[in-house]
Amino acid sequence: MPLTCLDDRAIVRVAGLEAETFLQNIITADMASLPAAGIAYGGLLTPQGKILFDFLIHDRPQGDNEGRVFLFDLPASQAEGFIKRLGFYRLRAKVDITPVEDLAVFAAWPDGDDTPAEVRPDPRLAALGRRWIAEPGSVATNATCDDWHAHRIALAIPEGGVDFGLGEAFPYDAAMDALNGIAFAKGCYIGQEVVSRMQHRSTARRRIVALGADGQLPEAGADITIDGRLIGHLGSSIGERGIGLVRLDRLRKAIDAGTTILAGDMPVRASLPDWATYGWPDASGQNEG
CATH number of domain containing 38: 3.30.70.1400
Both 222 and 84 in a single domain?
Answer: no
What pLDDT digit, counting tens, does each position of 47-88 carry?
999 999 999 999 987 655 667 899 999 999 999 999 999 999
Query: What is the pTM for the complete model shown?
Result: 0.93
Output the domain CATH number for residue 237: 2.40.30.110
238 within a domain of the structure (yes/no)? yes
197 within a domain of the structure (yes/no)? no
User: Cα dist. 250→241, 262, 281 in Å?
Assistant: 21, 13, 9
> Burial, 265: exposed, middle or buried (Cβ in 10 Å; 0-12, 13-18, 19+)?
exposed
> What pLDDT does residue 63 have?
56
176 within a domain of the structure (yes/no)? no
Both 14 and 137 in a single domain?
Answer: yes
Both 142 and 21 in a single domain?
Answer: yes
Cα–Cα distance for residue pair 208/31, rounded to 1 Å: 26
Task: Give the three-state DSSP class for 266.
Answer: strand
Both 94 and 235 in a single domain?
Answer: no
172 within a domain of the structure (yes/no)? no
Both 47 and 121 in a single domain?
Answer: yes
186 within a domain of the structure (yes/no)? no
pLDDT above 90 coverage of the chain, percent: 81
Domain boundary among 138, 154, 170: 154
> What pLDDT does residue 285 have?
46
Both 89 and 223 in a single domain?
Answer: no
Q: Give the dihedral of Cα atoms 235, 241, 246, 251; nearest 10 deg.
A: 160
Number of domains in the chain: 2
Both 283 and 220 in a single domain?
Answer: yes
Both 122 and 211 in a single domain?
Answer: no
Domain boundary among 95, 122, 154: 154
192 within a domain of the structure (yes/no)? no
Return all residues near 137 (Cβ < 8 A) that are at least 6 apart.
none
Cα–Cα distance for residue pair 26/46, rounded to 1 Å: 10
Domain that holds residue 211: 205-289
Strands (E), 95-240: 96-100, 104-108, 120-121, 130-134, 206-213, 223-226, 229-238
What pLDDT digit, counting tens, does each position of 228-262 carry?
999 999 999 999 999 999 999 999 999 999 999 99
181 within a domain of the structure (yes/no)? no
Whether the CA torsion 255, 289, 264, 274 is positive or negative: it is negative
Both 8 and 126 in a single domain?
Answer: yes
Give the pLDDT mean for 22-44.
94
> What pLDDT does residue 277 have?
95
Domain boundary among 154, 172, 195: 154
Both 134 and 16 in a single domain?
Answer: yes
- Flag whether pLDDT at 289 surpasses 80: no
195 within a domain of the structure (yes/no)? no
Both 35 and 139 in a single domain?
Answer: yes
